[in-house]
Amino acid sequence: MAKLPLTALQAFVLAAQQRNLSRAALGMSLTVSALSHQIRALEQRLQQTLFVRGPRGVSLTPDGERLLDAVAAPLDAIARALQPPRQSRDGALSLSMLPTVASGWLVPRLPRFVARHPELELHLHSGSSLVDFNKEAIDAALRFGPGTWPGLDAVHLFDEWITPVASPDFLKRRSRVPEPAELARWPLLGDPGERWKDWFLQFGGAPPKRYVANFGDTETLHRAALEGLGVALGRMTMVKPLIEAGRLVALMPQRLRAEWSHYLVYPPRSAQHPGVAAFRTWLLEEAAQHISATAAVHAPAPRSRRSRR
């Protein structure tokens, strides 16, 4: 019998679940090139095309859908057997989240939660890959996504909004802030989701034929804006503290709603965890304050003051 391509199957399943090769590669501690090689080798062995590559990620072909249905559950069962779940304690709360959400949004607010619940021992785990609640002793997670994860409860926290931002030094070099109608003629930074097209479609104008630079992740995109490379579409959750600190400037009051939102998610076993219940209550309060503060800092412009629709 030929050797089973288990590593290639794992790469395929993770890429299929993430719909993104970069995130799947991070989840397997591989380079994107190495993960793509694994998938191509699997496609050659099966003599089937499993993915269709697009500008916003990958999508499964019918053959890919059939393979995912056939192998995802068995691979997950093998992983659970080799790494049985650990049990969490009622007096401890383990949370998973993206590093950007941890440092930019949650950690600055955590002192208020600790003051309210000093009896809870917090364990924060930050990383780019999605936690597997069946394998890890994680009680809940903060996720940015579509809001539906099979087998998990998802509590909507707040929507994400994006808006053009630039550094004060960049604006000083150009001596002014751009008008919405001329934004396409300024040095723009390409974002991972190609949201500039949506921006110009909603607020007028046409996207540029080329960007100063293109970025595969939002954190690096924001860093480039901080360094004065050009204008970026900034996610308000991440850039609001930088705007308040004077390190970035919101160029205009218009905002575009992001495709995904922020959620608290947890498996059924965590529903009765007292720490998760306390964290959920507190987190919803903080989310409501965040929504109010973001609207106050960056309210949409009156219709009459917009140059174009």
The predicted-structure confidence for 116-170, as pLDDT tens digits, reads as follows 999 999 999 887 778 888 888 899 999 988 888 888 999 999 999 999 999 999 9
Stretch 223-244: mean pLDDT: 91
The verdict on residue 305 lying in a domain is no
pLDDT digits (tens, 9 = 90+) for 47-91: 999 998 877 778 889 998 888 888 888 877 676 555 544 445 568
Per-residue confidence band for 299, with pLDDT thresholds at 50, 70 and 90: very low
The verdict on residue 208 lying in a domain is yes
- pLDDT higher than threshold 50 for residue 179: yes
Question: Greater confidence, 181 or 115?
Answer: 115
pLDDT at 292: 86
**Number of other CB atoms surrounding residue 219 within 10 Å:** 16
Q: Are 196 and 250 part of one and the same domain?
A: yes
Boundary (domain end) residue, out of 82, 108, 136: 82
Task: Map tokens 């995802």 to a residue.
Answer: 72
Boundary (domain end) residue, out of 28, 48, 82: 82
Which token pair is 60?
């499964």
Lowest-confidence range among 4-8, 77-81, 213-217? 77-81
Question: Greater confidence, 197 or 135?
Answer: 197
Q: For the chain, what is the domain count?
A: 3
Q: Are 169 and 220 part of one and the same domain?
A: yes
Instruction: Answer for the pair 308, 180: CB distance below 8 angstroms, yes or no.
Output: yes
Q: Are 54 and 123 part of one and the same domain?
A: no
- pLDDT higher than threshold 90 for residue 219: no
Q: Are 155 and 268 part of one and the same domain?
A: yes
Stretch 181-204: mean pLDDT: 87
Q: Are 272 and 229 part of one and the same domain?
A: no
The verdict on residue 48 lying in a domain is yes
**Average per-residue pLDDT in the chain?**
84
Q: Are 229 and 249 part of one and the same domain?
A: yes
Per-residue confidence band for 306, with pLDDT thresholds at 50, 70 and 90: very low
Question: Greater confidence, 128 or 176?
Answer: 176
Q: Are 253 and 280 part of one and the same domain?
A: no
Q: For the chain, how far is it from start to end, CA to CA, in angstroms?
A: 63
- pLDDT higher than threshold 50 for residue 291: yes
The verdict on residue 306 lying in a domain is no
Q: Are 167 and 251 part of one and the same domain?
A: yes
**Enclosing domain of residue 291:** 92-159+260-295
The verdict on residue 279 lying in a domain is yes
CATH of residue 289's domain is 3.40.190.10
Q: Are 147 and 206 part of one and the same domain?
A: no
The verdict on residue 300 lying in a domain is no
The backbone torsions φ and ψ at residue 303, rounded to the nearest 5 degrees and listed phi first, read -60, -35
Per-residue confidence band for 28, with pLDDT thresholds at 50, 70 and 90: confident
pLDDT at 2: 53
Per-residue confidence band for 296, with pLDDT thresholds at 50, 70 and 90: low
